Structure 1
């Protein structure tokens, strides 16, 4: 692993894990040796990160020099914590992990009193059941949305009839009880909503729909407004 990537992962671990974090726990989290952790801690300190603690006791990130200071009101902190908790509860595993990472990064830039408000926020989300099942195809769909690239999907409709479609994925839409992919279906030459849990496989088609994406989204929004 390149050294900058290793140092970034170490910072992320210090942001997210309960302090103080032992070198052994940091080594387990980042996939390096304990000796490497000691060297990397020294490197981060030399670069300006204020890391408290010592060998044999554990470490904590006192002040994160890699991020600018942030200031939020108490209600803004509640909104942030609630929003990230909702994503952790409702998102797929990758999105849930990203939400935890975002909250940890923001908390690391706050003064200590505000950090305590993040930890002890009164706004919470609890769902006894997972709202959306894990869907293996979702990372590929999200990547295709970001890259604005066409996908070939193997799909089964509500009657379990199989088909192969080439789609231009425009957005991942989180509804109350189900997840949908808004796309332009090249087979039907129209907008379609596809359920990711019915997508058996995906593969890149090899072409980009970047010039059309904004126009298609405007058309879809206009059609929804007129309905």
Structure 2
């Protein structure tokens, strides 16, 4: 691996990490020596890349650092193309439009030899079917999740029982042709997952809930990992 490529990959390893990364771990991932990593980190810091390090703990890339040029590998471009295709096929109209916009922006920065990876990709996903939740403003649902606002909903569960609830939505999930809302249910005082196509009524309340939406997401994801559940569970 060329040194320039290795320096870029070190930044990517640190960017992906959720906490400090040791030189041993970086060296193992890039298949090089720990001494080389030390030298490369010093070179990056000398170039004003905001990397903080502590002996015995590891290195952290400070938030907000942006690489000037967009340098993507072939696999990374194909991953973006495949992800965008899935969004176009399965997500709501606003996200689908955004995915196409991302592809267009990436295509304008690609070297000519990589353009076919976007214009005529070798990876793909089958076309999706329309989700049966046209009565729900999914784009507004996503906004409410970001802003931490409550919803008042009428819900029809899998047994045919209806209920009225106030929920604290924090994530919209896209599962094939079904969209789901992960939320804290004030009626059950617990996390629940609601299918968007089973919502009989939706009222977007201006009231913000006390917890930040990111805190609820983290608690829910932690609970899911502990339960070792691979996907959403019924509401």
TM-score normalised over the length of structure 1: 0.61
Kept after mapping to 1: 8 A contact 2:90/2:177:
no
Show the counterpart of 1:71: 71
Q: What is the CA-CA distance between 1:70 and the residue it aligns to?
A: 2.3
CA distance in 2 between counterparts of 1:134 and 1:196 reads 6
Show the counterpart of 1:206: 206
Show the counterpart of 2:81: 81
Q: What is the CA-CA distance between 1:182 and the residue it aligns to?
A: 0.6
- Is the partner of 1:205 in helix, strand or coil? strand
Kept after mapping to 2: 8 A contact 1:150/1:168:
yes
Q: How many residues align?
A: 159
Residues 60-101 of structure 1 show CA distances to partners (whole Å, capped at 9, x for unaligned) of xxxxxxxx7523222222111111111111112222121111
Runs of 4+ in 1 over 4 A off after TM superposition: none
Kept after mapping to 2: 8 A contact 1:93/1:134:
no
- Is the partner of 1:194 in helix, strand or coil? strand
CA distance in 1 between counterparts of 2:215 and 2:131 reads 30
Show the counterpart of 2:33: none
The question of 1:190 aligning with 2:190 is answered yes
User: How do 1:148-187 and structure 2 match up within 5 A?
Assistant: 148-176=148-176, 178-187=178-187
Q: CA 1:177/1:116 → structure 2, altered by over 3 Å: closer, same or farther?
A: closer
Kept after mapping to 2: 8 A contact 1:84/1:100:
yes
- Is the partner of 1:211 in helix, strand or coil? coil
Unaligned runs of 5+ in 1: 1-67
User: How do 1:136-147 and structure 2 match up within 5 A?
Assistant: 136-137=135-136, 138-147=138-147
Residues 36-77 of structure 1 show CA distances to partners (whole Å, capped at 9, x for unaligned) of xxxxxxxxxxxxxxxxxxxxxxxxxxxxxxxx7523222222
- Is the partner of 2:115 in helix, strand or coil? helix
CA distance in 1 between counterparts of 2:95 and 2:101 reads 10
CA distance in 1 between counterparts of 2:84 and 2:196 reads 23
User: How do 1:72-151 and structure 2 match up within 5 A?
Assistant: 72-127=72-127, 129-130=128-129, 132-137=131-136, 138-151=138-151
CA distance in 1 between counterparts of 2:98 and 2:72 reads 21
Q: CA 1:141/1:119 → structure 2, altered by over 3 Å: closer, same or farther?
A: same
Between stretches 139-148 and 217-226, larger displacement belongs to: 217-226
Residues 123-149 of structure 1 show CA distances to partners (whole Å, capped at 9, x for unaligned) of 12223x517345331222111101111
Kept after mapping to 2: 8 A contact 1:81/1:121:
yes
Show the counterpart of 2:220: 220
- Is the partner of 2:89 in helix, strand or coil? helix
Kept after mapping to 2: 8 A contact 1:149/1:210:
no
